[in-house]
Amino acid sequence: MKNSIVIVLSSLIFCFSFINESPNEMIDEPVKLKKLMKEIYSVTESYKTAIILKKNIPNSKLDQSDILIAKTSKNKNPDHFKSVANNYLKQLSTLKKKQDKKSFNNMIDACLNCHEQYAKLWTRKINKLYIK
């Protein structure tokens, strides 16, 4: 009985310890980061379609704050991670201004620069986004 109470109390303390975390700290959870990356991929596909059809790229529900949150992800080399994330944001900004094939492909390069270091599994899928 005492063991059960200790386990339940420990579990509650553990769960409540996350309540005071900011959204930036909570993104470190792999599930949330994976969800963010899927959203970025989906938005990038819509950008690709717009560029191919020579239309304006659509506004996305993602904004820079979502991507900046990803920069706080824990990893072995946080300075490098922040550097590649900032490069992605720079390329994204250029794409939104120029809305052309070269800017789009530069943004994909920025994606790959990060994923080659931190998530190689997805590089094959990202490579398919290039506009030829």
Residue 119's Cβ-side half-sphere holds a number of Cα atoms within 13 Å equal to 16
If one counts every other C-beta atom within 10 angstroms of the C-beta of residue 85, the result is 20
C-alpha closest to that of 127 among 66, 36, 48: 48
pLDDT for 127 equals 95
Residue 103 clears pLDDT 90, i.e. is over it: yes
Strands (E) in 10-117, as ranges, are: none
Cα separation, 7 vs 38, whole angstroms:
36
Reported as a pLDDT band with limits 50, 70 and 90, residue 80 is confident
Per-residue pLDDT, averaged over 77-98, amounts to 86
- pLDDT grade, residue 70 (50/70/90)? low
Out of 11-15, 67-71, 90-94, 103-107, which region has the weakest mean confidence (pLDDT)? Answer: 11-15
- Give 3-state DSSP helix, strand, coil % of the chain, rounded to 5: 75, 0, 25
Average pLDDT, the chain: 76
pLDDT at position 73 is 55
Global pTM reads 0.70
Q: At what angle do helices 101-118 and 78-98 cross, to 10 degrees?
A: 160
pLDDT in tens, 13-52: 444 444 444 444 444 567 777 888 888 899 999 999 999 9
The residue that leads in pLDDT, 122 or 33, is 122
Question: Which is nearest to 113 in space by CA: 102, 123, 128, 121?
Answer: 123
- Report how far residue 62's alpha carbon sits from residue 64's, in angstroms, rounded to the nearest whole number: 7
